[in-house]
């Protein structure tokens, strides 16, 4: 009977691909009394939309569920998205090819500290646009320096299919297709989830080897009246020659840095396609980044 159940599901998905969980529910209803069903307590065995979406669980430690026995990682489309969601909530233990335990790999990390409101000193800047620019800058720097990007938290502004709590931050998969991104930039070689450094398999020596925080100056830090920069204090501020950063400047500033984690306060910077290495990465990013909704229905 189990084979018949999945046969129904496969036929429905083949005729009109949507959400596999929806088809599972339809198939169970269609077979009715022909199969035996035992309903597990929903508060102990939670569905993905209950645990993650309605429970507002994005990162490790968000709204702990002490009574949960099992979480079903459903109501989200694609294997890539399922794995990424588990990673960000600390529910992933696979260390293939030293994903967590590699002691030789070097990383860069950065934050998205500003929620731009297109008013006052941030007039002309929009949150989603600026955070997308930062993401591209991080991967360009990662390519130039042969470092893996640790993704930041993103503001939930504009998230489709998710109603965030006030002040809550979201992860990359809230806004962008994981399947599309992984097809161009595999996690194993190019990036890590935001909570990566909290994983117990990450060597202690990695966490203990962090640079001082850097900030690359740019238009976002300039007062509208052309006055002095308004970037945060106590940062190592680097000034490019123009509004766009050059790959030669990145190498000059950071190539000799030995810290396992190169830390940036933020990366609200655009890069000049001054060589093939940079232009190739920007081209890859233009293809890899695709907006989607919280359930990744639009791949």
**What CATH number is given to the structural domain containing 172?**
3.40.50
Task: Report the percent of the chain where pLDDT is more than 90.
Answer: 69
The per-residue pLDDT for 15 is 59
Long-range CB contact pairs, 240-243, < 8 A, 24+: 240/216, 240/269, 242/272, 243/218, 243/219, 243/270
pLDDT in the model for residue 227: 45
The parent domain of residue 15 ranges over 2-71
- The last residue of a domain, from among 20, 52, 71: 71
What pLDDT does 256 receive?
Answer: 97
Give me 165's structure tokens: 């709590």
CA distances from 219 to 143, 201, 216 (A): 23, 39, 10
Check residue 35 and report its DSSP letter: S
Give the per-residue pLDDT at 124.
64
In a domain, 294, yes or no: no
185 within a domain of the structure (yes/no): yes
Please give the tally of structural domains in the chain: 2
Q: In this structure, are residues 282 and 140 in contact, taking their beta carbons and an 8 Å threshold?
A: yes
Are 88 and 181 contained in the same domain? yes
* pLDDT beneath 70: ranges in the chain: 1-21, 23, 32-34, 118-124, 223-230, 233-234, 299
Q: Which of 71, 98, 116 is the last residue of a domain?
A: 71
Residue 298 lies in a domain: no
**Same domain flag for 251 and 104:** yes
Global pTM value: 0.88
pLDDT tens for each residue of 80-139: 999 999 999 999 999 999 999 999 999 999 999 988 876 666 666 788 999 999 999 999
Asked if 35 and 161 sit in the same domain, the reply is no
At CB < 8 A and 24+ separation, what contacts does 127-130 make? 127/155, 127/157, 127/158, 128/155, 128/157, 128/158, 128/175, 130/220, 130/268
What is the structure's pLDDT at 4? 64
- For 205-225, write each residue's pLDDT tens digit: 999 999 999 999 988 887 554
Residues 197 and 222 in one domain: yes
Q: What is the pLDDT of residue 274?
A: 81
pLDDT at 229: 57
């Amino acid at each position: 009977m189990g084979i018949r159940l999945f046969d129904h599901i496969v036929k429905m998905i083949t005729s009109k691909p949507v959400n596999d969980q929806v088809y599972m529910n339809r198939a169970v209803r269609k077979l009715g009394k022909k199969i035996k069903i035992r309903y597990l307590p929903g508060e102990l065995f939670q569905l993905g939309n209950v645990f993650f979406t309605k429970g507002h669980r994005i990162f490790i430690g968000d709204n702990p569920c002490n009574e949960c026995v099992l979480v079903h990682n459903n109501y989200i489309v694609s294997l890539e998205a399922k794995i990424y969601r588990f990673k960000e909530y600390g529910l992933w233990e696979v260390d293939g090819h030293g994903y967590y335990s590699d002691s030789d790999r070097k990383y860069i990390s950065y934050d998205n500290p500003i929620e731009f409101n297109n008013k006052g000193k941030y007039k002309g800047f929009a949150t989603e646009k600026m955070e997308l620019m930062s993401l591209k800058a991080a991967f360009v720097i990662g390519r130039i320096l042969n470092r893996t990007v640790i993704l930041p938290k993103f503001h939930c502004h504009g998230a489709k299919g998710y109603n965030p709590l006030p002040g809550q931050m979201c992860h990359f998969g809230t806004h962008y297709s994981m399947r599309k991104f992984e097809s161009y930039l595999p996690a194993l070689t190019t990036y890590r989830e935001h909570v990566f450094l909290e994983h117990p398999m990450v060597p202690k020596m990695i966490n203990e080897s962090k640079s001082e925080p850097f900030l690359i100056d740019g238009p976002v830090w300039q007062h509208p009246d052309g006055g002095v920069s308004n970037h945060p204090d106590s940062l190592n501020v680097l000034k490019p020659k123009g509004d766009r950063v050059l790959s030669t400047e990145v190498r000059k500033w950071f190539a000799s840095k030995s810290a396992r984690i190169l830390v940036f306060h933020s990366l609200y910077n655009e890069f000049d396609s001054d060589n093939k290495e940079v232009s190739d990465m920007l081209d890859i990013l233009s293809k890899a980044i695709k907006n989607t909704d919280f359930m990744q229905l639009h791949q």
